[in-house]
Structure formats: structure tokens, C-alpha cells
A and B are shown apart, each in its own frame.
Chain A
Amino acid sequence: MSKTRASGRTVGGLRSLSLQAPAVTLLLLWMLVPLGMTVWFSLQRYNLLMPGMESFAGLENYEYLFTDPALWRAMGNTLLLVGSVLVITVGGGVLLAVLFQQEFPGRGIARVLAISPFFVMPTVSALVWKNMMMHPSNGVLAWLAGVFGLPAVDWFSSLPLTSIIIIVAWQWLPFALLILLTAMQSLDDDQVEAARMDGAGPIAVFFYITLPHLKRAISVVIMIEMIFLLTIFAEIYVTTSGGPGLATTNLAFLIYIQALLDFDVGLASAGGVVAIILANIVAIFLVRLVARNLES
């Protein structure tokens, strides 16, 4: 370690490799061991309710899975959930960042309140929304509707996926706000000033200066959110349990149902493999796109 280097620059990949070794090795084990086991189980007829009946199944689990309409429904729900929440949080986050960047009395406290949902655990926020906000008879939203003389909405039975999207967006909007607000603070005032002098209105400043400045921050938000949104679980588990029917079942929840409610390890593992492949397709296309954006 204490070896002195003359040039300091090119000591070669070996040192770099050894420094990276702990993280890389651990993650490789974390990925390969369970993944290997999952792939192996997915080729087995393996149900915990029928011990001693395990046998090689070949691709039977996959065949069953791909002919099951639930898989396609779950994939659609997953993409719809991720896409909607991303649009809401990034769009809303940009607007709110512009708002909270303005000077007004108590701005600091208002900011802290607005980013608070990010610190709330998903199980708690799901419970609060389900019971106290969206409850069809005693919830705050039902009461509000009543004040305006409107019929109360039974959120989780009539708009199940929308309800989940609202809850998840409520949790992640503050995260987008936090990052974008931070990025706003490094916006060059002189540049804005110069544009103003040249007669640019607030809208022109927003589109030609603010938005381009936020590009990198938006990439970070999209990348981090995508990672977490693809595996949303607690919110669905606590509120709808995937229902009614399959209306709110995403891939993560579908596998959970098969593994822990039907005890079908083989089928659940096949679902796991499909989910992993799907996640990595998303990773390859989107994360690469975003990562390129981060380089400059």
C-alpha cells in the first residue's frame, strides 16, 4: 500500500482490480448463488406442499407461465406503474423545484414538509392512504367529496391501479423534488440575468435555461426511481394484495403469490427468472441511455 509511484498515473489495472475486489466479489456472489439456485429450481417440479415429490421438469414451468394470461397482465401493470409514476414525479418535481426555489416567507419549513413523504416507510404510507385517505366511507377523500356534494369514490375497487400509482407517486415525488431542487441551486444566476436583459420571459427562461440545466439531475432521478419502481411490493401487499382480480398484480407480486401462497417453488422460480430477464432488458436499454447522459 505504501509503495510510492513515480508518475502516479498508470500503475495498471491490477491495483484497481484489487481495490474493487471486495465489492465486486460480494455482488457477484449475491447475484450468482441465488440466481443459479433460482434457475435450477425453475427447471424442477418442486412444491413445498408435496415434499418428496421433486423431480426434473424441464421447461414445463416456463411453458405453464407463458401460457398463463396473468404473466402478461402483470408485465403490463409493471410497465404502466413505472411509466406513470415516472411521468408524475419528474414533471411534478420540476415544477415544484421551480416553485420552492423562489423566495417566500417560511420557504425552508415548506420545503422540509414537502420532502417528508420520502422518509416514510412504504408499509406505513400504504396503510395511511388505504385506511385514512381513500377509505370509501370514513376516509378524508370521501368526506371531501361529500362536502362538494359528489359521490365518494371506492378507490381500491373502482380505480385500483390508479390508487397504487397515487400512493407510489406521493412517496417518490419528494425524492425528485429533493434532487431537482438541489440541482436548481447551482443554476448560474448571471446566465438567467443575461437572458432576462435580452428580454426572455419566465417561460423562455424555463425552457431554454432551467430545463437544460436540470437534464443531468433528471437522468439521475429517472435511473434511481426506475430501479426501485420495478420491484414495488409493499404498497401492493398492504393495500390490494394484487386485486381485484389481477388489476394491481405486478411481476414482483405475481411471483410472491406463486411462491408463498401456492408454495410452488418451481413455478415461482420460473417467474423470478422472467422478472430478472425483463429487469435486465430495461437496464440495458434505459440505464445505458441515462448513463451516457451522465458522462459529459
Chain B
Amino acid sequence: MTTYKTKQALPAEGHLATTPASEVRARHTPLVPSVGARRIWLTLLGWGIALFIFFPILWMVLTGFKSEAEAIADPSLIFTPTLESYVAVQARADYFKFAMNSVVVAFGSTLLALLIAIPSAYAMAFLPTKRTKGTLLWMLSTKMLPPVGVLVPIYLLFRDVGLLDTRTGLVIVYTLMNLPIVVWMLYTFFKDLPRDILEAGRMDGASTLQEVLYLLLPLTLPGIASTGLLSVILSWNEAFWSLNLTSSSAAPLTAYIASFSSPEGLFWAKLSAASTMAIAPILVFGWLTQKQMVRGLTFGAVK
């Protein structure tokens, strides 16, 4: 079993780790005389645009460390950092309770979505029928259902079965919300896997379960991981359902931030501190897993 794995997995990995384009180019192309000037230009442009895009986030983080008076004064990068907004924000609402809800709901729904989607994507990729294409498109079309269009029925159903303001309720909604995307991404990752590998496994007498556990999952791990990461991010940032289906005990960070937006919209330092706390975990998570996400995406839908 493992022989297939190593033998076949290597070319795919190796392909991704080829020499950077620039090195190849530097060796082979006749160099333009102004290559140094071009490099400086590129650096300025690249960094300029990156900072331009990042600026609102940077500004928000900085504002969180200012006093309220400094926050609404003329924009300035020079100020004495203070933690007073963070203290005030924490005193008003227990951040960790909301953060815990976000973590549980985002990861819980992602895990559940993956568990349900993997068999389905496996069947679609390796045992396609005439209906497979249609099923895939239909699944995606359920994503186009505007949440507001079905809010009232869901709200009434949840009220009747006691799922309002529970983590379980949110996990169910988020799982279903992300399921079509998760199935689609996994399907594209699975489909790109060379059929021969699974065929060879079958020849050796692997059962479906063994095939999935020992061949499919290890080989498509980057794809599964990137799908999972996207699902975590989408669940973490979802605002509509969390605002309408939770009130206090199951409210995630999206609700936390909303509680600071309306009555105290003008207290920018506190608002910024709360916002920074709400996005920090997922932003750092995104930064750390960015390579993984990119690798996964390379492996799958985008090639």
C-alpha cells in the first residue's frame, strides 16, 4: 500500500517545489541593463500596494491602542499606546465566552461538513453516474438561496425544537451552509488524483474504506486541509445567522462586535479594540495556514 503512496505522491510534490521562475530567467535571458532599477520599482510597487490594501486593518489595530480623544483627532502615527480601551471592552462583555463559542461552532461545523462531504465527493469523483453533474450544480444552487428568504421558517423551527441560542443550532446551520462548497472543493481535489493509484489499490484487494483511509485521504490531505480552512473562515465570519439565531449563551464573536457597533458607534478606540480582538484569532490563523491553503488550492481546483 505504502509503495503507491510514496511513488506517486513524489512527482506532485516535486512539481510544486521547482526552481523559482526568476532564478531560471536570471540564468537564461539576456539581461536588460536596468535590472536593478526594475527591481527597486517592483519592490516599491509591491510593498506600496500591499500596505495600501492592508491599511484599514493596520489603522484599526492602531486606533485600538489610542485614547478616545486621540482616536478621533487628525490621523497620526505618533501617540502613547494605552490599553484602556481593551480594559473597558473586556469589562463590558466577557470576550473569552464569545471567542470560545466562535471556536466551537467554526471547528465543529467544519468537521461535521467534512465528514458528510468526503463520502459524497468520493462517490462523485470515482463512481460518477449520469446524474453527478446535475447533483453538483444543484448543491451549489442551494448556496444561492438568500438566508433572509428562509429566516422566518428556520427561526420558527428552531424555536419549536429548542435550538435557538444554542451552539448545536449554529453548528447545524453552518454545516449546511458550507456543505455545498466543501463538496465542490473536495470533488475537484479528488478528481485530480490519478485514477491508476486507486485502481492499483483495488487490484491489491483494498476495500473502499481502506482505499479512502490509506490512499485517498493521505494523497489529498493538502486539499482537504485547505477546504477545511476555508470552511472555518467562512463560519467564523458569518454574521447573519449568528445575529438572528443567538442572543446570549451561544453568541459568537460576530455578535460580540455587533454589540459594540450600535450604541457606541462613535467610540472609535473601544470599537477598534473590540474589532481587533474579534478578528485577531482568525487573522493569525489565516496567516499561519496561508501556505497550506495555497498548496491545497494548487493541488485542486486551480491548476
A residues contacting B by CB (< 8 A) are 1-5, 8, 11, 13, 15-17, 19-20, 22-24, 26-27, 30-31, 33-35, 37-38, 41, 96, 99-107, 109-125, 127-129, 131-133, 138, 140, 143, 170, 173-174, 178-179, 181-183, 185-187, 189, 192-193, 196, 216-217, 220, 223-224, 227, 230-231, 233-234, 237-238, 251-253, 255-256, 259-260, 265, 268-269, 271-273, 275-276, 279-280, 282-284, 287-288, 291, 294
Which of B57-65, B78-86, B90-98 lies at the binding interface?
Answer: B57-65
Answer whether A287 and B137 are a contact pair too, CB < 8 Å, given A30-B176, A104-B46, A118-B286: yes
A-contact 0/1 string along B39-61, CB 8 Å cutoff? 10011011101110111110110
Contact partners of B287 in chain A: CB under 8 A: 112, 116, 119
- The distance in angstroms between the C-alpha atoms of A85 and B268, with both chains bound, is 28
Q: How far is the CB of A139 from chain B (nearest CB, A)?
A: 9
Q: Give the CA-CA distance A196 to B31 in the complex, in Å.
A: 12
Task: State whether A256 and B148 are in contact (beta carbons under 8 Å apart), knowing that A27-B180, A114-B50 are contacts in the complex.
Answer: yes
Binary contact readout B17-30 vs A (1 if CB under 8 angstroms, 0 otherwise) = 01011101100110
Roughly how many angstroms separate A279 CA and B293 CA in the complex, as a whole number? 29
Contact, CB under 8 Å: B209 / A114: no
- Residues of B contacting A128 with CB < 8 Å? 56-57, 59-60, 272, 275
Interface extent on B, as a size class?
35 or more
Question: Contacts A37-B153, A102-B42, A105-B43: A13 and B129 contacting too (C-beta < 8 A)?
Answer: yes
- Within the complex, what minimum Cβ distance (angstroms) separates A30 from chain B? 4
Asked whether B153 lies within 8 Å of A276 as measured between CB atoms, the reply is no
Select which of B146, B156, B293, B297 is within 8 A of A230 by beta carbon: B146
- Report the separation of the CA atoms of residues A125 and B239 in the bound assembly, to the nearest whole angstrom: 12
- Separation of A280 and B138 alpha carbons in the complex (Å): 10
Chain B residue, CB-CB nearest to A143: B75
Q: Is the CB of A259 within 8 A of B29?
A: no
B149 touching A233 by the CB < 8 A rule? Answer: no
Asked if residues B237 and A287 are in contact (CB atoms below 8 Å), the reply is: no
User: Are B302 and A179 interface neighbours, CB within 8 A?
Assistant: yes
User: In whole angstroms, how far apart are the Cα atoms of A82 and B157 in the complex?
Assistant: 31
A280 and B141 contact, CB distance less than 8 A: yes
* B153 interface neighbour in A5, A34, A122, A123, Cβ under 8 Å: A34
B153 touching A15, Cβ below 8 Å: no
Residues of B within 8 Å of A291, CB to CB, are 133, 136-137
Per-residue CB contact flags for chain B residues 197-208 toward chain A (1 = under 8 Å, else 0) read 001001101011
B46 touches A123 (CB 8 A): no
B143 surroundings in chain A (CB, below 8 A) = 227
Residue in A closest to B63 when the chains form the complex, CB atoms: A132
Please pick, from B47, B154, B279, the residue contacting A120 in the complex, using a CB distance under 8 A: B279
Residues of B within 8 A of A (CB): 15-16, 18, 20-22, 24-25, 28-29, 39, 42-43, 45-47, 49-51, 53-57, 59-60, 63, 72-75, 116-117, 119-120, 122-124, 127-129, 131-133, 135-137, 139-154, 156-157, 176, 179-181, 183, 188, 199, 202-203, 205, 207-209, 233, 236-237, 239-240, 244, 253-254, 257-258, 261, 265-266, 268, 271-272, 275, 278-279, 282-283, 285-287, 290, 293-294, 297-298, 301-303
Candidate in B73, B141, B145, B301 with the most chain A CB atoms within 10 angstroms: B145
Measured CA separation A132–B60 after assembly (Å): 8
Which A-chain residue is minimally distant from B206 (CB atoms)?
A4
Alpha-carbon distance between A127 and B183 when the two chains are bound, in angstroms: 33
Measured between beta carbons, the chain A residues less than 8 angstroms from B42 are: 99, 102-104
A116 adjacent to B116 (CB under 8 Å)? no
Q: Are A30 and B148 in contact (CB under 8 A)?
A: no
Q: Tell which of B25, B240, B282 touches A193, judged by Cβ atoms closer than 8 Å.
A: B25
Interchain CB contact under 8 A, A272 and B207 = no
Q: Tell me the complex Cα distance, A41–B22, Å.
A: 61
B237 & A189 in contact (Cβ 8 Å cutoff): no
A13-B129, A294-B301 given; name 6 further pairs at CB < 8 Å.
A5-B202, A117-B56, A131-B268, A133-B56, A143-B75, A182-B298
User: Contact at A127–B127, with CB atoms within 8 Å?
Assistant: no
Give the residue name and chain of the B residue nearest to A140 (CB).
Answer: B75
A20, B97: Cα distance in complex, Å: 37
Could you tell me the distance between the alpha carbons of A185 and B253 in the complex, rounded to whole angstroms?
A: 35
| Interchain CA distance A112-B137 in the complex, whole Å | 33
Residue pair B239, A122 in contact (C-beta under 8 Å): yes
Q: Are A283 and B303 in contact (CB under 8 A)?
A: no
Are A22 and B119 CB-contacts (below 8 A) given A131-B265, A276-B145? yes
19 contacts between A and B (CB under 8 A): A8-B202, A22-B119, A24-B120, A41-B153, A112-B287, A119-B282, A123-B261, A124-B60, A124-B279, A128-B56, A128-B57, A182-B302, A185-B16, A192-B21, A220-B302, A231-B146, A252-B148, A280-B144, A287-B137
Task: List the B side residues contacting A288 at CB < 8 Å.
Answer: 137
- Name which residue of chain A comes closest to B51, CB basis: A113
